[in-house]
Structure 1
């Protein structure tokens, strides 16, 4: 018999939470019925996103015990639902206040997880698990980040009289690639980019190219990450006067006014 009094309700509630967690941990090692390969969800840093989980056939799941978790975390629990409410006991602290489900959707067997303000560290494989039905659904979340590059003058190449351009872009995830193109869209040969990964897990990439005079003298630095379908470009125009012998007077004058004549246009 359960007494709903301040002195007894709290211990009973804690006991119920412990029983549910013990049940989930007991079934953890068992064989559950998987529904196929993980479904991929791609999000950008800071987005609010939904990780789908739909019972088939649909049924009212409000009173069921269900779990969202990640096996690579300790504790692994992102969200646990039992008997019409969330259980916050043993929830991974990284998800406190950011993970939720819709009780209205649960009446239709929809246990989709809403994550707010996603972080790079949220990337991973999530498991939606129904122990009573012995079913699990896997979702792979990839959180990306992108930013526009900036082009700057690095100098005049002494041997070729070409103009050296630097491109730098900060705040990418996963690691992107850098391409240089001329005004006609042809790829230019450049050295390998330099990549630095910061303490926030975001990448900074930089690349240098030496360009020769072209019909348009327009050049593009393109930074892209195909896994998250993100591309950022910056275009620059180099006046023809800069493509001269570095020993000439014209070159000296050109270098002194380069930043006043050269302009860049950023395209997102």
Structure 2
């Protein structure tokens, strides 16, 4: 078999600070590098590893912290021999010589990266404009580089707020703009690609005069430009004519402009209030329509039942006698008694429960074993574990799942097993879900699977795979840094409250960071226990007495009625049907399993 050479670009790669750049290298003739180790290093740097691709993934532990989250290989193109590396948001310090090395082939090649500098140049001469006209404050990048994906900030020092126009992520950020410049500024968006960052101000006012600053954070470049605004009448008359009258007109114009700004601001606020009121009224209207439709449906159902009952009563009124009526009443009371006993014994509150997870945490390493359990749930029907995966399960791991089981162990676990897990019974009642994450990284956050009760303490541990030593770790909540723990990599939150809810993650220097998981907090009024069969309480006993008393009276009345010559009885028969559920272990959710109760009334001949 012929040898394959590693070829990188012989010409230096030139990029500008803040841009993304590709250091292109390939195997020629092409052979697959999918299962090979690819090492990108920068000689002279400590540690020198920029990107180490091994066993199909990046080895975070060996990567230089200066390049964390800023490098990537084209993994889908490794099979074609493309081992190029992409560096995101290039810095000036990234300039230098890089080395690509494949140990299995003992091939290496070098490539040089240069960081080009571009200056921000604005007009050195003051820009003069007439009040009421439009004006352009010219600024450009020289040599020209694209500013399409960069943040461009135009400010006026001394103004509060000072932001005149902030262009970020391809659009104007209205929230930071000074209200005096609302709807009066614009950039030449189609020319940003050529480095033109000039700003246009519409209908210039006397108060717009002053010094303006243009700033590009990604290049850390700024420049200033002066704007002078003249009154039109002063410009037409010249400097020597009507000085006193001109000053009076200028003052009047400024007062009118301030008044117009105040009126515009009031109208904008009124419009905002009206839009909010309209949204609230629309929401309430939809709620009222929903309740109305529901009520109309209930009324229609009651009317239908009433009509059917009237027909049945009309058909039976000629043949109905007192003993038959007694039997009917006896049967109805018996049914009510049985229903009351059923609800007293098997009332479930599935919406206030969570499945049990062992080990009790939301994050797990790949190849670990974890179990989701619904055996704490009780009732007349069986509970089973259900889940909704973030990614489809591969055939190689599909045999680890059974949707009809009350307990499910994932062994071994893979990243594809990440998703929501919950419990569900045959009648469609579900528990609350827990969001389990399986990561192929080296760090996880030990956060409880079940919510923490308000007022309790909770301890969060930052765990590194296959490491029992005590490491320091940084903890974050909703992207904000909470602090650093130096002993045992654990953080304790005392007297937990609802304000502690959020997305938590942790980071161990040199090892990487964990995924994010939500810490949920339950108020004390919420039921944190799984639904169980409740014993008969005093209220249930009272209901039983209330129902049994009329039953005994009706039985005595029926037995005392002897003029008809025969006694009619009724028998209540209860039958339960539970459809079979497939247990073939497929990954699709099984159809809803229902438990039906049927009641038959059968007249019996007297003994």
Q: Which bin holds the TM-score, normalised by the shorter protein?
A: 0.3 to 0.5
**TM-score normalised according to structure 1 size:** 0.45
**TM-score normalised according to structure 2 size:** 0.21
Q: Compare relative contact order (CA 8 Å, sep 6+) and give the higher one, 1 or 2.
A: 1
Say which structure is richer in strand: 1
Larger radius of gyration: 2
Say which structure is richer in helix: 2
